[in-house]
Chains A and B, each alone.
Chain A
Amino acid sequence: MKQYEYMAKGRLKERGITVPPGRIADTPEEAAKVVAEIGPSALKAQVLVGGRGKAGGIKFASTPEEAVIQAKAILGMDLKGYRVDRLYVEAKLEIERELYVSVTTDRNAKKPLVMASAAGGVEIEEVQDDLIIRRLVDPEVGVLPYLGREIAEAMNLSLPLAREFSELLVRLYAIYRQEDAELVEINPLVVVDGHLIAADARLNIDDSALFRHPEFELVEEGSALEHTVHQLGLAYVELDGDIAVMANGAGMAMATLDAIQHYGGRPANFLDAGGGAAVEPTAQALSVLVGMHPKAIFINIFGGITRCDDVAQAILQVRRSQGIPVPLVVRLVGTNEQKGVAMLEEDGIAAFSEMSEAAQRVVELAGEGR
């Protein structure tokens, strides 16, 4: 779960990392009020994407009047697909240097990874590799101040700054570890008057760990439909095609999308009905697909734990209760396959056993393909 910049900075501040003075503002008037209070400010769009500055999501205002004009320009704008509903108004800084620092997980090493660079201020992917310092952390040791001093040395920071950096890194690692962050990043970490300030911050929390962090405000990313389906406990991603898809298991669902695309069709969504889905969740998931008004629906099931007759029953249930007004292609293989196929055939629904044939057929029925 991503956190907005102002939330991330709230966490940093609580942990003793210096952030610029600032407040949130949802209207131009509120923005003007903050500028009147804290002086010349940056007005920053609160959206969950990087590179806001270049996209016009950060503007400056020296007076409350300017703040009204600039806030009107940003609020409501579309920033890389996100609507801006909130600003963070923050004191403008006289920046001497821009650095970069983050803590994240190295999936291959299975360890925490500290990254730092003296070339901050741009997305880290754009920084030349030899300008990035990477240090894996032994989770049983953690980050002690010496690691910060070593990294500071590698970035050519002189003493008072090096000590500040070292303290900051210890605190940043504590956020990563104790608050179950997937990523905590300060970019840029700026030098102002010889001191370090976190000018921008990103904090992504591990969804699986939210149960032990009631302190985090829930931030929903994605469309209204995505929220609805997530609440059913199903993994769902909206795509821009028109063939609705359901499969059991994440890998199968991905492979199903690939198969549709392979035959020239365009999938409308990713939906994993779960590796061992029972009748009710499957029916609910299908019901969502019907509600999307796709050109066709493709259900691809390899029944291992999932039983094919349960899937068939779910399909018939939805057909009777709300109707399925678009072509439906079902591929059903595995546990209780014969029973499931017989149930569908009785109702006039043909079931395929080959994934390739089924994918090809649904693309044809949707009027797509080569």
Chain B
Amino acid sequence: MAILLRSEDKIIVQGITGNQGRFHTGQMVAYGAKVVGGISPGKAGQQVEGVPVFDTVRQAVAATGATASVVFVPAAFAKDAAYEALENGIRLLVMIPEHIPVQDSIDIVTRAQALGAVVIGPNTFGVITPGEKTKMGIMPNHIYRPGPVGVVARSGTLSYEIAFSLTNAGLGQSTVVGMGGDPVVGQNFISVLEAFHQDPETKAVVMVGEIGGSAEEEAAEYVKTLGKPVVAYLAGRAAPPGKRMGHAGAIIERGRGTLDSKERALTAVGVRVVTMPWEVAPAVREILG
């Protein structure tokens, strides 16, 4: 068991012939993901890493029965690609690109909601389920192991750091989900926590948050009913207000989105909040015994 992504999910790659698409298709295939097709208009008939290329999502879905898509197209074309996927029956959509206009992201998540599809990202590293040897995204293959810890993060490399420290401490992961670093993204902590709540394999959850917005504060209310222990590490204590710290969404605006407010909200509902990334694995170890 795991959440969001299962071994049987058939995956297509939109933008498969670009540098990123090509490289990560290889990585996904090597990890064991069922990548059944790729999209690149005008390139039908080619193969990338043994994966057949189609001109349209419509063709690819008809030929392969794919239900999941990971998008690598440039930000300016991402809305078109996302709609193409959603309108053709894709129900798990992972949006890798950074710098997608917020208005486009609003449209994408609104349409996905209406169709009952799940959007992960934009500006995400994706989702990986080590126990089922499948992934959609750009995370390195070798740092994960199957196990009982669910991880939900806003940031890529920081989540790698933490997942790897869990692995090194003998704590494998059920599923690792990247929400994405943009202001508007498909998943929030609550939606991912709800999925972890339903998953019997997940015994504890690690939240990797950061300054900006109020997703952590909103999640705190839900944690009360989660019924599983949560460890949180949040980045950005040293960040000055009004400055965007790399991620479009990582900004303290008009006094909102401070680390202090997030840590207080999570601590109040019994989340074990640690102050440094290397304290996460020991805290999980302590809780799981």
Binding site for B on A (CB under 8 A): 105, 107-108, 110-112, 123-125, 138-140, 177, 180, 182, 206-209, 211-212, 235, 237, 239, 247-255, 257-262, 267, 270, 272, 275-276, 302-305, 333-335, 354-356
**A302 CA / B157 CA spacing, docked (Å):** 7
**A275 CA / B158 CA spacing, docked (Å):** 10
**A188 CA / B122 CA spacing, docked (Å):** 35
With both beta carbons as reference points, the residue of chain A lying nearest to B248 in the complex is identified as: A208
With both beta carbons as reference points, the residue of chain A lying nearest to B246 in the complex is identified as: A250
Residues 159-196 of chain B: 1 if any A CB is under 8 Å from the residue's CB, otherwise 0?
11100100000000000000001011100100000000
With both beta carbons as reference points, the residue of chain B lying nearest to A183 in the complex is identified as: B253
**Residue B215 contacts which of A107, A138, A207, A257 (CB distance < 8 angstroms)?**
A107
Q: Are B157 and A251 in contact (CB under 8 A)?
A: yes
Distance from B239 Cβ to chain A, minimum over Cβ atoms (Å): 6
Q: Are B110 and A235 in contact (CB under 8 A)?
A: no
Distance from A7 Cβ to chain B, minimum over Cβ atoms (Å): 19
**A123 CA / B255 CA spacing, docked (Å):** 12
Q: Are B245 and A253 in contact (CB under 8 A)?
A: yes
Residues of A contacting B158 in the complex (Cβ-Cβ under 8 angstroms): 249, 251-252, 254-255
Q: Are B240 and A254 in contact (CB under 8 A)?
A: no
With both beta carbons as reference points, the residue of chain B lying nearest to A357 in the complex is identified as: B278
With both beta carbons as reference points, the residue of chain A lying nearest to B142 in the complex is identified as: A335
State the interface size on chain B (CB cutoff 8 A): 61
Interface residues of B in 183-218 (CB under 8 A from A): 183-185, 188, 208, 210-211, 213-215, 218
Q: How many A-B residue pairs have CB under 8 A?
A: 170
Most chain B Cβ neighbours within 10 Å, of A250, A254, A305:
A250
Binding site for A on B (CB under 8 A): 75-76, 99-107, 109-110, 125, 138-140, 143, 153-161, 164, 181, 183-185, 188, 208, 210-211, 213-215, 218, 233, 235-240, 243-250, 254-255, 275-278
List 6 A-B pairs, minimum CB-CB distance, nearest first. A251-B155, A250-B246, A249-B157, A251-B158, A209-B101, A304-B140
Residues of A contacting B100 in the complex (Cβ-Cβ under 8 angstroms): 208
Residues of A contacting B235 in the complex (Cβ-Cβ under 8 angstroms): 251, 254-255, 258
Distance from B116 Cβ to chain A, minimum over Cβ atoms (Å): 16
Residues of A contacting B138 in the complex (Cβ-Cβ under 8 angstroms): 275-276, 304-305
